Structure 1
Amino acid sequence: MNKEQARKQKSYEEYVKQKTPVHNVWKNMFRAFVTGGAICLVGQIISNYVSGTGMDKEMTSCYTSMLLVFLSVLLTGLGLYPKIAKWGGAGALVPITGFANSVAAPAIEYKKEGQVFGIGCKIFTIAGPVILYGIVTSWAFGLIYYLLLKAGINW
């Protein structure tokens, strides 16, 4: 490598170093923990309230999930959930609320393109891979479980 190429390489490496964001892992983990914990706290409050109305455990779970999804979609529509997700990272993206956000956000963004070519085509842009790999993974684990049961291994 000649001097000019070495100088360009060094200049490029410095440019990349300047532009690459520096992440504080501990701060990000704390934010994710707080955000995920807050979502779980809201879910527990909803669950306790619904359970206090006399509903059984299964109905309480259903209502809690539905209300969390509703709140997520509402906050997405108001433009607040993306801010929560930006601050809380994986803490906001992993729970059921994150999945609801990943379906609602493209629907809101592409609604101006119409029902079919906008919402219909783009609604699962983000959530589609999650659904696909979730189904494939659950099928694979189900097959493994079935084969283990056939082999006489039962836990």
Structure 2
Amino acid sequence: MNKTNKQNYQPLASKHEKQRPVLKNCIRAFLVGGTICFIGQCISFFYMYFFDFTEETVGDPTTATLIFITMILTGLGVYDKIAQFAGAGTAVPVTGFGNAVISAAIDHKSEGFVQGVGGNMFKLAGSVILFGVFSAFVVALIKTILINLGVIG
């Protein structure tokens, strides 16, 4: 494609591009993401009230419960409809992670349970876990250096 064709293409493509309602999408993302966080907070309160967890210990079961709920909703096809409506609002890290893992498993189930479901389900999980562990190591290393230098207590 020569330079004049590229210059002519851009205005033509812009003219036919669908305009996105940015403000409406932001409001939807905010409301749905906030609702997911609210549900997570309700689950935390439930665990603290009925199972005697503290604020320090309630995070893990709450996270696991949110991931479990997301995986069930993804398997039933409900989470995809919510994501279609909310866009980035469903990318709250825990629920977005659960959705991505189960979606990969569902997409590759025809290849079998081991190579299809198992092999593809953990492609995303592996990189997320690796990044999380590496990031935690770097932050702990920086904190240790700052403590040893006397910058922080």
CA separation of 1:151/1:14 partners in 2, compared to 1, >3 Å: closer, same or farther? same
Instruction: Report the RMSD for the aligned CA atoms in angstroms.
Output: 2.4
CA separation of 1:126/1:18 partners in 2, compared to 1, >3 Å: closer, same or farther? farther
TM-score (norm 2): 0.82
Within the alignment, does 1:12 sit opposite 2:9 as a pair? yes
- Structure 1 residue runs of 5 or longer lacking an equivalent are none
Identity among equivalent pairs (%)? 38
Residue in 2 that maps onto 1:41: 38
Paired residues, what number? 151
CA separation of 1:154/1:97 partners in 2, compared to 1, >3 Å: closer, same or farther? same
Within 5 Å, give how 1:5-154 maps onto structure 2. 6=4, 8-18=5-15, 20-57=17-54, 60-154=58-152
3-state secondary structure, aligned to 2:123: coil
3-state secondary structure, aligned to 1:123: helix
CA separation of 1:23/1:125 partners in 2, compared to 1, >3 Å: closer, same or farther? farther
Contact 1:31 1:87 in 2 (8 A): yes
Residue 38 of structure 1 deviates from its aligned partner by: 0.7
- Structure 2 residue runs of 5 or longer lacking an equivalent are none
TM-score (norm 1): 0.81
